[in-house]
Amino acid sequence: MQRRHFIIKNAALLSAAALSTSATTKRKPKKIKPNRLKEGDSVAFISPGSFLDDEGLQKAVQNVEGMGCKVMLSKNIRAHRGFLAGSDQQRLDDLHWAFSDKQVKAIWCARGGYGCSRLLHNLDYGMIKKNPKILIGYSDVTALLNAVSQQTGLVTFHGPVAASDFTDYTKKHLQAVLFDGKEKHTISLPPTSENHVEPFSLYPKKVKGKLVGGNLSLLAAMAGTPYAVDFQGKIAFIEDIGEKPYRIDRMLTQLRQACNLEKSCAVALGDFTDCDAEAPESLTLKETLIDRLDFKNVPVGFRFPFGHTSDQCTLPIGTEVELELERMEICLIESAVV
């Protein structure tokens, strides 16, 4: 009898401990906003994915200096290992240096490519949380932006890499988000697009929510890992380039099955440049997107200016935004910097 009482008592204690541990594990970090950029601030360049050649690096330096900032090159910015910008350790060291160095006010990924997801399990998230700074990039950098935001609460920025084309449209939105820290900053469609598919929407209405997302290929690759993006109750933004409709179908299906995409409160889609069907029997890009994203009363809008397109806006991951699909606008309703 005493033995039975002992077993029941300890089982109850273990159950309570498990619930406590589970609650602690699932606790979301508090939102942290980095300091805004000011003219004369030092910005670190890192290449956490693919190698950037000399011409690209020169263009990147000119772009960022043209916005009034000083450029600090990471130690391994010229490292090259096959399709990567140096070894994993070199790229990791550069990222940690950029966050820990007090002179550095913002971290700008020089290019995307491939390789960021290889670093996620070795990032020092505790150190990053203690040294919050602007982290900006897109494409493969999607992995870094979302993992850092999830693990630390730091607002990160899906925007042009340093070697992107800094059009007037791109610079306007960089200035508004990173430097001015505008509240209620509205992002409207640029006058032209590289995609022949006209903008369209499903269930157009005004929706507010937390912004998460990025490049579709990376979001799908992160599914099933500790860094997978959970879209439930959030506004998802998704883009890609050079992926044919059947591959887009596959990746969106994966996000539906693994990441609660169907439970998002809205979906904003980028240009999806060069994603048209080649085979005559294929669904078109538009048909594929509608087929995979018609969630019945979940608003969806296509052809917003983020990601792989010349005119890029800057989107702060982890902040509250308002999606207005009747006017095809994204309103940043809070400042993303302090």
Instruction: Give the integer Cα–Cα distance in Å for 286 and 237.
Output: 16
Instruction: Give the integer Cα–Cα distance in Å for 164 and 82.
Output: 22
Q: Residues 158, 173, 185, 308: which is the catalytic one?
A: 308
Tokens 């960022």 sit on residue: 64
Q: Residue 47: what are its φ and ψ, rounded to 5°? A: -125, 85
Q: Residues 117, 149, 239, 310: which is the catalytic one?
A: 239
Q: Residue 325: what are its φ and ψ, rounded to 5°? A: -85, -15
Q: Are strands 200-202 and 300-302 parallel, antiparallel or unpaired?
A: antiparallel
139 is catalytic: yes
In the chain, which residue ranges form alpha helices assigned H by DSSP? 2-26, 54-65, 88-100, 125-130, 142-152, 168-174, 216-222, 245-258, 285-293
Q: Residue 302 pairs with which residues in a beta bridge?
A: 200, 269
DSSP letter for each residue of 180-192: S--SSEEEE--S-
217 is catalytic: no
Tokens 């369209």 sit on residue: 200
Give CA 10 to chain center in angstroms: 45
Residue count (the chain): 338
Which long-range contacts does 196-201 make (Cβ < 8 Å, 24+ apart)?
Answer: 196/276, 197/272, 197/276, 197/285, 197/286, 197/302, 197/303, 198/303, 199/301, 199/302, 199/303, 199/328, 200/286, 200/301, 200/302, 200/303, 201/299, 201/300, 201/301, 201/302, 201/325, 201/326, 201/328
Q: Residues 50, 74, 139, 310: which is the catalytic one?
A: 139
87 is catalytic: no
Catalytic residues: 139, 239, 308
